Structure 1
Amino acid sequence: MASNNEREPDVDGEAGHGGVQSVDRALAVLEILARDGHAGVSDIAEEMGIHKSTVSRLLGSLVSREMVHQNSERGKYQLGFGILRLASSIPGRLSLVREARTVMEALADQFKETVNLAVLRSNYAVNVDQAMGPSTLATYDWVGSLTPLHATSSGKVLLAALSADDRDRILTETGLPARTPRTITNRKDLETELITVARDGYAVTREEFEIGINSMSVPVYSHLGTVIGAISISGPAFRFDPEKEPGLADGLKDAGLQVSARMGYTRR
């Protein structure tokens, strides 16, 4: 069956059904990269069940439009800046990114670690902007990455703000897969922690999403008082313990309220 699909006009022949199929496959490639962060030609071909040459042509077209970027060191592909240009056409998200930018840069400069802005998209937290601290060890670009809600500090903030029904739906659909040995995989334990997150106004993860990385996150509110995003700060576990970092919790909360105020939120 794969060979029959290969005879259809994929990227080079854009007529009729082949053109629609090419669009569908290109979107599937973007979804894989959004989910995994990066992937190689062979990985994508295996998951989609198509030939590597077809994947290469799809990636070539996406690269030419800056929707995808190839990492020169590892040869793998990741989402490109063209995706951000498309996302910026969404007024609400564009406004949130714009209003949060200077606040995030100030945070990164003050605490010398990486600061991210995330929003809820489907069943994931998607990072829409990032500011790097001057002493940041890692250089990974998290913008565009989809991260699990239960294993990240931003995700926990977004989960804690949902209604019980919405939270139950999402967690039922996604489950609680372990990303590391420290990931919370018990629903009752997670719900107990989310109560604490809602009470304290921040969430913390210690090596739950990635070994060696700790993070803390706070909510960003809209003019209606609903949570529309989360600002997080993360750093290497050997030097960064969020709850022991002097002034971090208060500084991060203040940053969240600054951005919220710019979005029209009036603190009650």
Structure 2
Amino acid sequence: MTSNNRYMLSSVKNALRLLRSFTLEEPEKKVTDLAESLGLGKSTVSRLLSTLESEGFVIKDEETRKYRLGLSILHLNTVLTSHLEITRESQPVLEQLVNEVEETAHVAQLEDMEVIYVNRVECSHPVRILSHIGRRNPLHCTSSGKVLLAFQGEHKVEQYIDQKGLQPYTLKTITDPEKLKMELETIKKQGYAISIEERMEGVTSIAAPIKDYTGKVKYALTVIGPVHRMNPYHPQMIHKVINAAKEISERLGYWRN
């Protein structure tokens, strides 16, 4: 047993796993659903839910017998996002960018070989897309994911391909490892990535890297919209996205030579 595992409480870990199992697609779940998905006994799940409910982290609907996340989660989210430097520094830049391109913009970061969105400014005519604060998406089929993966180095790229695989989400998803590697090299050279219906049909996006004060790519700025309205290859769009990403980088302390 390692020193880390020695101090790990299984009950706390299971409670956290339970909370993370709620998603936008499945915001409400029954005890049996949770027990099956987590591989735990129903009595264990019931005890965890009762404890979490007492602290406001979950709420039970007495009619449907289903549980959903409680307001205590929202409070923690507010505390976290209000103190995230990237949120503070990117907010005015995102607002200006959305005002100019009239499409929704996000900031994303890499976590556990997935892209997770940490800030978002929505346009006045949004479409239903698979992106929101806290949303996790694959790396190989999203523009933000490809940007973040491109600057991770060959070892990380190989690790992602081996562990995650290149799952096809649409007919346009890149599933050939060599083709993905070639595109990542192109992204590094040109300084931006484009995804057209690779994750979801009818949706396109463009992303550019955001650097921290050390010059390391830590985040990606993304503009996303419907294919019938947004052209990610338009020079003006590319220019605005790259410049906005550079402005956020400078606000984070990166100094361009």
TM-score band, normalised by shorter chain:
0.7 to 0.9
- For each residue in 1:163-206, what CA deviation from the matched residue of structure 2 results, as whole angstroms up to 9, or x when unmatched? 11122223221111122222111100101111111111111111
Say if 1:117 and 1:232, in contact at 8 Å, map to a contact too.
Answer: yes
Q: Which runs of 5+ in 1 are unaligned?
A: 1-19
Say whether residues 1:112 and 2:105 are aligned partners: no
Say whether residues 1:252 and 2:245 are aligned partners: no
Return 150-159 or 39-48, whichever deviates more.
39-48
Query: Do the aligned partners of residues 243 and 161 (structure 1) sit closer, same or farther apart at CA in structure 2, a change above 3 Å counting?
Result: same
Return 44-53 or 246-255, whichever deviates more.
44-53
Per-residue deviation, 1:78: 6.7
Say if 2:117 and 2:131, in contact at 8 Å, map to a contact too.
Answer: no
1-structure distance, mates of 2:255, 2:225: 31
Say if 2:203 and 2:224, in contact at 8 Å, map to a contact too.
Answer: yes
Per-residue deviation, 1:154: 0.5
Say whether residues 1:266 and 2:255 are aligned partners: yes
Say whether residues 1:159 and 2:149 are aligned partners: yes
Which residue number in structure 2 is paired with residue 81 of structure 1?
74
- Secondary structure of the 1:243 match is coil
- For each residue in 1:204-245, what CA deviation from the matched residue of structure 2 results, as whole angstroms up to 9, or x when unmatched? 11111122211110000111111010010101122222113x
Query: Do the aligned partners of residues 109 and 57 (structure 1) sit closer, same or farther apart at CA in structure 2, a change above 3 Å counting?
Result: farther
Which residue number in structure 1 is paired with residue 133 of structure 2?
143
Which residue number in structure 2 is paired with residue 11 of structure 1?
none
Give, as a single letter, the amino acid of the residue that structure 2 aligns with 1:108: V
Per-residue deviation, 1:52: 6.2
- For each residue in 1:43-94, what CA deviation from the matched residue of structure 2 results, as whole angstroms up to 9, or x when unmatched? 4332113466865765576577675699xxxx885794345346449x7xx1
2-structure distance, mates of 1:68, 1:212: 35
Query: Do the aligned partners of residues 256 and 169 (structure 1) sit closer, same or farther apart at CA in structure 2, a change above 3 Å counting?
Result: same
1-structure distance, mates of 2:226, 2:50: 35
Return 124-133 or 109-118, whichever deviates more.
109-118
Which residue number in structure 1 is paired with residue 63 of structure 2?
none
2-structure distance, mates of 1:151, 1:229: 16
Which residue number in structure 2 is paired with residue 193 of structure 1?
183
2-structure distance, mates of 1:170, 1:208: 17
Return 106-115 or 224-233, whichever deviates more.
106-115
Say if 1:115 and 1:233, in contact at 8 Å, map to a contact too.
Answer: yes
Which residue number in structure 1 is paired with residue 205 of structure 2?
215
Say if 1:216 and 1:234, in contact at 8 Å, map to a contact too.
Answer: yes
Task: Give the alignment's Cα RMSD to 1 decimal.
Answer: 3.3
Which residue number in structure 2 is paired with residue 130 of structure 1?
120
Which residue number in structure 1 is paired with residue 225 of structure 2?
235
Say whether residues 1:49 and 2:39 are aligned partners: yes
Give, as a single letter, the amino acid of the residue that structure 1 aligns with 2:154: A
Q: Which runs of 5+ in 2 are unaligned?
A: 1-8, 61-65
Which residue number in structure 2 is paired with residue 40 of structure 1?
29
Number of equivalent positions: 244
- Secondary structure of the 1:234 match is strand
1-structure distance, mates of 2:56, 2:96: 29
1-structure distance, mates of 2:155, 2:143: 21
Say if 1:37 and 1:78, in contact at 8 Å, map to a contact too.
Answer: no
- Secondary structure of the 1:254 match is helix
TM-score (norm 2): 0.81
Say if 1:36 and 1:146, in contact at 8 Å, map to a contact too.
Answer: no
Per-residue deviation, 1:148: 0.7
Identity of aligned residues (%): 32
Return 26-35 or 225-234, whichever deviates more.
26-35
Which residue number in structure 2 is paired with residue 14 of structure 1?
none
Which residue number in structure 1 is paired with residue 174 of structure 2?
184
- Secondary structure of the 2:242 match is helix
Give, as a single letter, the amino acid of the residue that structure 2 aligns with 1:31: R
2-structure distance, mates of 1:106, 1:60: 45
